[in-house]
Amino acid sequence: MQPVWDWFRWLYQTTGINLTIFYDAFDRGRFAHGFLMTVKLSVICIVLSVIIGVIGAWVQGSRHRVLRTFIHWYIQAFRNTPPLVQLYFFYFALGSLFTTAAGPLVTNVTWAIVSLSFFAGAFNVEIFRSGIEAVPRTTLEAAESLGFSRWQTYRRIVFPLAFRISLPALNNNLVNLVKTTTLAYAIAVPEMLYVSSQIWSDELNVPVMMNVLLICYFVLVGMVVYLMTRWERAVRVPGFGV
């Protein structure tokens, strides 16, 4: 790989395009870690937000009014406020509660994950709930009449159908989540934006790093969008849809 790095050094010397993230080992490592942190935040938050969404959708169908109201206000609170304020609230307000004399018990990365997961989870609850409610009652009755137990009905009919119906909306949300991970910059989480800002303040190559950043996000988000579209097409229910 050394010849590749050397080429970038040559590029800097001839054209002034200073891509230290390639030819300088330290910056290379930093940027790679930043990229991985963005990916890590995205993946973990996607998984957690889906879990929160599933649990929330299930609770929303419960018979207890208290639980339903609680979920309703959770959704409204997280949907209608800026995610930045939510992040600050988790990190500063709740963070101060979880701080002992020795220092904070919960890292900023964890708070970022918690905050973003709840943010995306709020949208997911509504999405999954709508998906579940879109399965016709008669289809469920037909399954019952065939002798499926309640769990079998849920596993083989409700869940596959609700999932396929929810997928486009879920994908929108997940793509948005990947873009929202940049907010973690505000609480000094070393994701791609933060790391890039460190690099450009060290190496003074702001325009170059900015462009690299834009390209990276374009590729990352573009890939997610592409995969999501492929997935949607693969699980499409024929005869239903727009």
CA separation (Å) from 230 to 152, 160, 222, 226? 28, 17, 12, 6
The site string for other proteins over 1-30 (x = CB under 8 A, - otherwise) reads ------------------------------
Nearest residue to 41 via CA among 160, 151, 135, 178: 178
192 three-state secondary structure = helix
Find the binding residues for other proteins in span 34-73 (CB under 8 A).
73
Q: Which stretch binds other proteins (CB under 8 A): 23-31, 45-53, 98-106, 161-169?
A: 161-169
| Among 14, 100, 147, 234, interactor with other proteins by CB under 8 A | 147
User: Which lies closer to other proteins via its Cβ, residue 24 or residue 191?
Assistant: 191
Q: Which stretch binds other proteins (CB under 8 A): 3-11, 21-29, 62-70, 92-100?
A: 92-100
| Among 98, 152, 188, 231, interactor with other proteins by CB under 8 A | 152
Bridge partner list, 103 = 100
User: Which lies closer to other proteins via its Cβ, residue 29 or residue 241?
Assistant: 241
Give the list of residues 6+ apart from residue 137 with CB closer than 8 angstroms, or none: none
Bridge partner list, 100 = 103
Find the binding residues for other proteins in span 124-143 (CB under 8 A).
127, 130-131, 133-139, 141-143
Give the list of residues 6+ apart from residue 18 with CB closer than 8 angstroms, or none: 12, 203, 205, 208
Nearest residue to 197 via CA among 183, 211, 209: 209
Q: What stretches of 154-242 adopt beta strand conformation (E)?
A: none
Least Å from the CB of residue 58 to other proteins: 18
User: Which lies closer to other proteins via its Cβ, residue 9 or residue 104?
Assistant: 104
Considering the rule CB under 8 A, would residue 190 count as an interface residue with other proteins?
Answer: no
